[in-house]
Amino acid sequence: MKDDKDVGKFYTPEDATEAIRNLSAEQKRRLEAAARRRAWFTGDHKGLLHEAIASTAEGRRRWNRSVDIVRHLDKAMQSITSNAAKRRKVAADNREELSARDGWRGEEPSTEAALEAREFREEQHANAA
């Protein structure tokens, strides 16, 4: 739990599990529709809904007492997809950075640069001795 003072604001994981078990057919339909809308980037709406349910039931995503369970799960799915999109962007940025570095590393040094580097190393070695 995050802060003990906030405990009264949230349902327990057991309460959440019970509410999820007691979802009506209409609530399940609404959640399925929300999952389809939110899973546009992967196409795996069932996996997204499962992650929202599992993280709520395990207490990793706390269910605020002021929100109904369907709204909570919808917002949990929104958060999951938002976090995944951010991770993808960071990964893409890192790939671009690595690819730029790899391109630089892949270039063969000119003969002149190699000779200068060798002379520099020899000079450093002589000064150290």
Q: How far is CA 117 from the centre of its chain?
A: 43
- Identify the pLDDT of residue 3: 54
Cα 45 to Cα 23, 100, 105, 111, 112: the distances in Å are: 18, 35, 41, 56, 58
Tokens of 122: 């020899």
| C-alpha angle 56-60-65 in degrees, rounded to nearest 5 | 55
pLDDT in tens, the chain (129 residues): 455 567 789 999 999 999 999 999 999 999 999 999 998 766 789 999 999 999 999 999 999 999 999 999 999 999 999 888 888 777 777 766 655 555 444 455 566 666 777 777 788 878 887
99 HSE (CA, 13 A, CB side): 6
Residue whose tokens read 């590393």: 105
- Identify the pLDDT of residue 104: 43
- Identify the pLDDT of residue 86: 84
Q: Is the pTM of this model over 0.85?
A: no
Integer Rg of the chain from CA: 27
- Identify the pLDDT of residue 105: 46
- Identify the pLDDT of residue 84: 83
